[in-house]
Chain A
């Protein structure tokens, strides 16, 4: 059995090897560290084997003058950050976990707290080495085999196996982050707060309580951050912390309406009303959840799904309010609800972000989860938004087509490189009508 981070299993197994070229010869899908929530990294039913990349993790070159890095696709973001932070470099874009691989970062074209300023990871990728469906190995970049490059960035590994990634790391002035956070009392003020903060702060995001209603709808904590200047930062490197772990799968009733309500209220109230400013190490700032091993076990034996959508600027700021109202009306109890403003669309043809507000929530799987996701998707379609494939497990093909006007162009390019439809995943079978 094999599952995504949401812990909904399908039949399948991984084959591991240091030799990615050999491993991808017959593979239909690669899988990194399995942090995509849904079925993106899971094999199609008729070929229940995925090529696991994490052992292929060699750094091939690094230029300390330009920050240009080339590495095998299985290199983890954690190894990258820990290797290069002492030398003054960090990943230019990072999502909320560093337990992911470079290949996965390209395939999902991940975004982070600095999307409004620096775009997706794909914007910093300069070159890819790939094995395409007919077995050839070739390189693509924004200048060479441009179509393939654009279809692969955010293409969920469906256009070819990513073997090596070349990208530019960001130079950072110190090894610490200056973080500020404050309480915000409703969703409209939250969106204004994000936009305002985004002008001055490279990293912004917020946590909202999606169970509060009425005038408190969307209250939460807004967080901002930037790299500390050398004179603000303590000397030396932050020490990696020991991780506690959720030792076993908790019973399904642990996460319910009341515990979530209590958790959200406590989280809000524990933050004092004034602005809080502190110096934190980058790992606690960017990856608070990585501090708890196997936190996905909290959601019980049926697992959970993360729902993430972007509501475009064109829909007006009322869209986020309408989304949260629908969510509270349907009783979707999410422990974590993360809100973030997105900047311009990147080069990836199927990448998730576009200008607007992104909302992500964790939904424990219940009998009515499909209905809830359908209802949220209807609203997202109406608002002309879209969902994030790296999180998705329940979206229906019709909804996805309606959200994704770029799908046709992407599919054309994909078919050109893989006419027989050999490369596929459980997700592409479900969502893109690939053969099982």
Chain B
């Protein structure tokens, strides 16, 4: 599989890209800082023990650069079968309420910019007769919760957008995989108290890769979060108003 990957330098993207490289997928990395991209590319090459991994700068906050970055990826790979987006930003509600500029930025990056990037990606995949678009949303978009009101709203929007893509373009060969990670121990969640069922990076990556291979439209990772969210979605408003999570 020829994969363009936005966000492979860190966290869940790093783990997933390693699994893909190890089984022989060809990767092209997109990301913000050139030095970090180069290091991650060398890491993937060393772990796979074959092939070379190309890189191009692509900042999720600079939509003007999306087309050029995806051009570079398509050219470098000599084709394109899948696009993976794990990049995103996170902050808790408490932090965002103190910092309106950061709140605006989160909404923009996690929703508008990500959707814009996906639009570029899906047009290219469709032009090639189809392909897989994998995007990391969040369980935070499933039910509004006090600690993640703004982040959750952006992710809720993203989840709906991906659902819409699936409805509209499935027949034309576009496979959309909306990944909904629960709490995963990454640098993004560093400093937050880990809830029950907190996931490990490698486990999440394995679950997501299986979903990609099956073309599953929605995947919870770790899988237990499907049932956790089933319960959380069913809680009445009176409880959500009182609950601290």
Q: Which A residues lie at the B interface, using CB under 8 A? A: 15-18, 55, 58-62, 64, 83, 86-87
Contact = CB atoms under 8 A, between A and B. Distances in A.
Contacts of B43: 58-60
Contacts of A64: 49
Main DSSP-derived SS at the A contact region: mixed
Nearest to A56: B187
Contact of B42 (A15, A59, A86): A59
A18 B11 contact: yes
Contacts of A55: 186-187
Contacts of B9: 18
Contacts of B14: 18
A60 B191 contact: no
B47 interface: yes
Given A18-B9, A58-B39, A61-B42, A83 B47 contact: yes
B229 to A, nearest CB: 25
B132 interface: no
B173 to A, nearest CB: 35
A320 B191 CA distance: 47
The 6 A-B pairs at the shortest CB distance, nearest first, are namely: A58-B43, A59-B46, A16-B190, A62-B46, A17-B187, A59-B43
Given A18-B9, A58-B42, A60-B42, 16 more contacts: A15-B190, A16-B186, A16-B187, A16-B190, A17-B190, A18-B10, A18-B11, A18-B14, A18-B187, A59-B46, A59-B47, A61-B42, A64-B49, A83-B46, A83-B47, A86-B49
Interface residues of B, number: 16
Contacts of A87: 49
A15 B191 contact: yes
A302 B66 CA distance: 56
Nearest to B38: A60
Interface string B188-225: 00110000000000000000000000000000000000
A400 B47 CA distance: 42
B187 A58 contact: no
Contacts of A61: 42, 46
Interface of B: 9-11, 14, 39-40, 42-43, 46-47, 49, 185-187, 190-191
A60 B43 CA distance: 6
Nearest to B191: A15
A87 B14 CA distance: 22
Contacts of B185: 16
7 contacts: A15-B190, A15-B191, A55-B187, A59-B47, A62-B46, A64-B49, A86-B49
A229 to B, nearest CB: 23
Nearest to A64: B49
B9, B42, B185 pick with most chain A CB within 10 angstroms: B42
A258 B90 CA distance: 53
A432 B47 CA distance: 40
Contact of A60 (B39, B49, B186, B190): B39
Contact of B40 (A15, A58, A83, A86): A58
Nearest to B39: A58
Nearest to B43: A58
Nearest to B49: A87
Nearest to B48: A83
Contacts of B11: 18
A58 B10 CA distance: 10
A200 B47 CA distance: 34
Contacts of B49: 64, 86-87
A241 to B, nearest CB: 16
A269 B156 CA distance: 62
Contacts of B190: 15-17
Nearest to B14: A18
Contacts of B10: 18
Contacts of B39: 58, 60
A16 B47 CA distance: 23
